[in-house]
Amino acid sequence: MKYSKTLLTICLLPFIAFTSQTFAASFQSLEQSAAILGTADAGTATNTDNASIEYYNPAGMPLVGHPIISLSAIGVLANIRTHNAQATVGGNPITGSSKGPKSHGIMPGVHFIQPISDRFAWGFGVTVPFGLETIYPKDSLARYFSTTSKISTINLGLSAGIRLNDKLSVGVGFDAEKMWAELDEMVIVPSPTTTDVETDETGQDWGYGFNFGILYQMSPAFRLGLAVRSPIKHRLQGSSKFIGLTPAQKALFPELVDSDAFANITLPGSATLSAQYNYSPRWVWYGDVQFTKWDSLKDLTLHFTNPLRNPKQSTIILHYHNAWRASIGQSYKLNNKWTLRNGFTFDQTPTDTTYKTARIPDANRFWITLGANYKYSKTLDFDAGYALILFAHSHINRSQTIGGLPETYSADYRAYANLLGFQVNYHFAS
């Protein structure tokens, strides 16, 4: 096959400069396809118009009918503002910037499907299923709770699907996921002169999971899809460092020593039920309901292995709860060249109001989306999608005690985000 020699290179090119920001609930990402973005992620487990079905539901791959590769990139630009921000140390107010965190990036996705027969197909994908980026100014009022927070993932997925009969298809996939994390904040070192010192805490790990799906064609016009993704456990291993300690401070505070560190985290599994109804040859309706099992994420505890380090661990309490997403969308075929799309999503946050953090100032989200497909030729077509995400009001009120000093931070957060995606789909000759 002529395309096989360069396939791996094509798949990895968009990830050379990938970034970590995602915009589903908390730090989960659904934005694996600019085409699906246009319908507000409705019909993810039933839509077989492009190769992203290999990620969303491998049972749909045999219905594609020919080799296809889809290359997607979605840009994110968020506007996050804080109001009524206040912070104290030892009961005394502190000064600093009240600006909200910066949050932007690009989410790439690569999907490939190769049919083996009219009933069997395999697929491969490179995706970014989870991510987070919030960067506050170094003098932020939130600096003792967060300066930089980054979570990045790359998922390598291999899947297979089989069409059992004219109505029922099933599929299964294997996921190998690389995760990186960086969680930084400022700490107060009181002597010889009181200064802020930044901690740099990083870690990485490979984790493994699986996914499976079912696609059932109830009638020529109506189909249902069910897709399930397993949780993936990570044991992040890295280091914790103090940036900017003077020799005098190191001598006075020997417990403030760099250390190897590790943290255990389980990224949640999910189940998605999708429906697709071809109302007419031109008009298609889509719907999605997704359940994500976030309640496994109660806290994030960083363990320090250096025996001189004190305290021996650092814990961020989260108390996440399970969350739901509901989406509706439609597409309309204007002519043989153009198809238009739109959709709406309600995306529930898993964060607990009491334990919401400056690292993830999340809230319920409302998506309004538009999209289009342009068919350039029989083998080449293009997708574009746009989403406006409106966040509900979010309030943060956190407190902690570090080195005997009580610290507090509170603020109201208001945010919106713009997502703009493009996708190229190339259909190889069978």
Between 29 and 146, the higher pLDDT residue: 146
Whether omega for the bond prior to residue 268 falls within 30 degrees of 0, making it cis, is no
DSSP 8-state class, residue 355: G
> Minimal CA–CA distance to 153: which of 139, 169, 172, 133?
133
Report d(CA 268, CA 228) in Å as an integer. 11
For residue 6, being part of any structural domain is answered with no
Instruction: Confirm if 52 and 70 have CB atoms less than 8 A apart.
Output: yes
Q: Which residues pair with 206 in a beta bridge?
A: 178
Residue 374 has pLDDT above 70, yes or no: yes
Domain count for the chain: 1
183: domain CATH number is 2.40.160.60
pTM of the model: 0.90
Is there a domain that residue 127 lies in? Answer: yes
| pLDDT: which is higher, 14 or 342 | 342
What average pLDDT score do residues 128-155 get? Answer: 92
Is 150 part of any domain? yes
Q: Is the peptide bond before 62 cis (omega within 30 degrees of 0)?
A: no
- Residue 207 domain-assigned (yes or no): yes
Task: Give pLDDT tens digits for 347-368.
Answer: 999 998 888 999 988 999 999 9
Q: Which H, E and C letters describe 415-429, residue by residue?
A: EEEEEEEEEEEEECC
Within 10 angstroms of residue 64's Cβ, the number of other Cβ atoms is 21
Other beta carbons within 10 Å of 244: 11
Structure token pair of residue 383: 């997708």
pLDDT at 22 > cutoff 60? no
3-class SS at 319?
A: coil
For residue 335, what pLDDT is reported? 96
Q: Does some domain include residue 293? A: yes
SS3 12: helix
Span 66-94, average pLDDT: 94
Is the confidence at residue 390, as pLDDT, over 90?
yes
Mean model confidence pLDDT for the chain: 90
In a domain, 2, yes or no: no
Per-residue pLDDT at 296: 87
Cα–Cα distance, 88 to 95 (Å, whole number): 9
Look at residue 297 and tell me if it is in a domain.
yes
What pLDDT, on the 0 to 100 scale, is given for residue 18? 47
Residue 11 has pLDDT above 70, yes or no: no
pLDDT for 403: 76
Domain boundaries, position 127: 12-427
Give domain status of residue 401, yes or no.
yes
